Amino acid sequence: MSYFAQALINGIALGGMYTILVLGFSIIWGVMGVINLAHGEFVMVGAYLAWMASDFWDVDPFVSAPAVFAVMLLFGYLVQRVLVNRIIDRPALVSLLVMFGISIILQSVMKVTFSADFRLANTDLDGAWRLTDRLTVPVTRFWVLVVAVGVTAGLNLFLGRSRLGKSIRAAAQNREAARIVGVDIRKVYAVTFALCIGLTGVAGALISPLLAVQPFQGPPLTLKAFAITAMAGLGSVRGALGGAMVLGLVEAMLALYVDRIGTNLAVVASFVLLVAALVLRPQGIFKGLRHVDATST
């Protein structure tokens, strides 16, 4: 029983990590209709930034996260201006392939710069809290969860209340109508993309003490982000939280009950969840910013 409780705690903690990982991906897809296949690579770049801060100047990732956010915001804005702007209205295949090209480029640049060695950032918020003699709470993951919930709540407020947030939602729901009432679509897209890449960088910074930082860590993260988003509804902030928790719990249970190899099977689990969710419920579970319909063209 305490094993189960432990898996529950691990699963929720993992879900927190996935929440912050998926938000940027989900909103870009929901608002702009672009599937960011380079998502995992943006996470990876953020993680490298945090690792550099930790390794060179001994700055804790939780402290450097705002700086990483700023740098990635700028980077996202640049990528948007140079490339993403050109593909927004294009067919899905074009944007998929261009984003795929970006992901290859980022992997290659990081490999050439940092080699393929595995790195980990150091954080003071590590170790585990002992609840009973069988139950522990992983400290780093706990704080990631706290940040994730905070960011989720903040985003919800921002999208729901602020003027800019409302324009973003309007642009996602009906571009033409939004344009007619005076929303500057190009600006909204630029802000959305930059903001989401900033967020994604923060996700990278936060997981840099948890997951090995290396040039090829991206694709599984992209895949998980896709699985959660398609399950939960495109651009749905609450859906991202819910979907991330489901995936986190499934993975934690697998790790617990399938001895040793359970963690390797996690990516299999997310794939099975993805296909099952899409086939059984093509329109998504939560109501998102954009209509999900996986089985009709």
Other Cβ atoms within 10 Å of 272 Cβ, number: 13
Single out the residue of 54, 62, 20 nearest to residue 203, CA to CA: 20
State the minimum distance, in angstroms, from the CB of residue 164 to other proteins: 27
96 binds other proteins (CB under 8 A): yes
Does 261 interact with other proteins (rule: CB under 8 A)? yes
Q: Is 78 in the site for other proteins (CB under 8 A)?
A: no
Residue closest to 286 by CA, chosen among 220, 221, 242:
242
> Which of these segments, 105-113, 117-125, 137-145, 233-241, binds other proteins (CB under 8 A)?
105-113
Smallest gap from Cβ 241 to other proteins, in A, equals 21
3-class DSSP state of 234: strand
Binding residues for other proteins restricted to 106-125, rule: CB under 8 A:
107-109, 111-112
Minimum gap (Å) between residue 130 Cβ and other proteins: 32
Nearer to other proteins (CB atom), residue 1 or residue 112? 112
Residue 9 is given by DSSP the state H
Task: Please report whether residue 212 would count as binding other proteins according to CB under 8 A.
Answer: no
- Give the separation between CA 250 and CA 253, rounded to whole angstroms: 5
By CB under 8 A, tell whether 63 contacts other proteins.
no
86 scored as a contact of other proteins (CB under 8 A)? yes
Of the two residues 61 and 235, which places its CB atom closer to other proteins in the complex?
A: 235
Q: Judge whether 152 and 91 are in contact, CB under 8 Å.
A: no
Number of Cβ within 10 Å of residue 256's Cβ equals: 16
Of 8, 63, 139, 265, the one binding other proteins by CB under 8 A:
265
Residues 86 and 19: their CA atoms lie apart, in Å, by: 29
Which of 4, 129, 272, 281 touches other proteins by CB under 8 A?
A: 272
Tokens of residue 297, six digits: 């063209």
Runs of H (alpha helix) within 115-236 = 139-161, 163-173, 175-180, 185-207, 218-232
**Could you tell me the smallest distance in angstroms from the CB atom of residue 265 to other proteins?**
6
Nearest approach, Cβ of residue 35 and other proteins (Å):
5
φ and ψ at 282, to 5 degrees? -65, -15
Q: How far is the CB of 259 from other proteins (least distance, A)?
A: 11
What track of x and - describes contact with other proteins for positions 181 through 210 (by CB under 8 A)?
A: ------------------------------
Residue 239 contacts residue 29 (beta carbons within 8 Å): no
- C-alpha 127/C-alpha 117 separation (Å) is 24
Find the binding residues for other proteins in span 216-235 (CB under 8 A). 219-220, 223, 226-227, 230
In whole angstroms, give the CA distance from residue 229 to residue 32: 14
147: number of CA atoms within 13 Å, CB side?
25
Among 7, 50, 102, 232, binds other proteins (CB under 8 A): 102
* Contacts of 108 by beta carbon, 8 Å cutoff, 6+ apart: 215
Residue 264 lies near other proteins (rule: CB under 8 A): yes
Judged by the rule CB under 8 A, the positions of this chain that interact with other proteins are: 35, 83, 86-87, 90-94, 96-98, 100-105, 107-109, 111-112, 219-220, 223, 226-227, 230, 261, 264-265, 267-268, 270-272, 274-275, 278-279, 282-283, 291, 293-297
